[in-house]
Amino acid sequence: MNRLKRFLGSFVFLLFLSVSVIGNAFALQPKIITMDSNDITTEIISEAEHSERIIVDNDSPLVFEKSDLLFDDFEKTTDKDISTKYVGYVFAGPNQIHAYPLVCNLNTGDLFYYNTIGDSVYFSMLSQYSNIKFTKSEAMNLYNRALGVAYTNEPQYSYGIVGWYIISEIDLMADRPKYVEYRIAEPNFGVGSDYEKWNVPYEKVRITLQGACAFPDDYSETQYFHIGGVEGSYYYTADNGKVLGVPFGAGISVNVKN
């Protein structure tokens, strides 16, 4: 049993002890958004037929993949309007971010999301820190769709939205790369604050970082809040021989104004 399952197992136990205990449990555990199963629409029932449930069950807080190794089509520009093809240029930052409402089976503690219920943003201007943004109505629409599909597929259980699942492709570039350290920003369902490390063997590489993010303490259904998402630093050897790091992050901003 991994860290996520241990954390959620204790959470579900607390959730169903008694009404008096629930208040204390919620003060310590992730916030939850629920819906009345009677509010399921015919559109949601139809969507349930085409949505794949992705189980979140990884011992590591981040699933690491690498793609487009040694790619030469680094045509985008940074926020400083410097071409990333410039020799000697160092960069680390999100190329794209995908975000999906994170559903919890409140009876079993299982975490999952649906591959068709979420949104993505692709950046034409690269920056070290970027966010995917949702208005209140956009976020609530995704929450209700995800919960509706869950109830449609397995109505014998109870469900809640407990956060977001974030997937981000991070572009890294340096003439003398060393390694990258990365993690899911807290709160992250008890996974903790430790960083994972990967030695970077390529001057130009795109990596995919992903993980489960809990709602923060300042979560609100109406007021703005931010989730740190995936974060880390890319280390390289500078011209003077020193090892330097470039921080990066890919997060979510929710309940933003139109």
- CA-to-CA distance for 67 and 60, rounded, in angstroms? 19
pLDDT of residue 230: 92
- Total domain count for the chain? 1
**Gap between the terminal Cα atoms of the chain:** 42
Q: Domain of residue 241: give its range.
A: 3-256
> What span, in angstroms and rounded, lies between the C-alpha atoms of 110 and 127?
34
CB 210 within 8 A of CB 164: no
pLDDT in tens, the chain (258 residues): 455 555 454 444 333 322 222 333 333 344 666 666 666 666 766 676 678 899 987 554 454 555 544 444 444 444 444 344 444 678 899 999 999 999 999 999 899 999 999 999 998 877 899 999 999 999 999 999 999 999 988 989 999 999 999 999 998 989 999 999 999 888 887 777 889 898 888 888 888 898 899 998 888 888 999 999 999 999 999 999 999 999 999 999 999 997
- The pLDDT tens digits for 127-170 are 899 999 999 999 999 999 999 999 988 989 999 999 999 999 99
pLDDT of residue 101: 96
Rounded to two decimals, what is the model's pTM?
0.79
User: What local confidence, expressed as pLDDT, does residue 217 receive?
Assistant: 84
Total residue length of the chain: 258
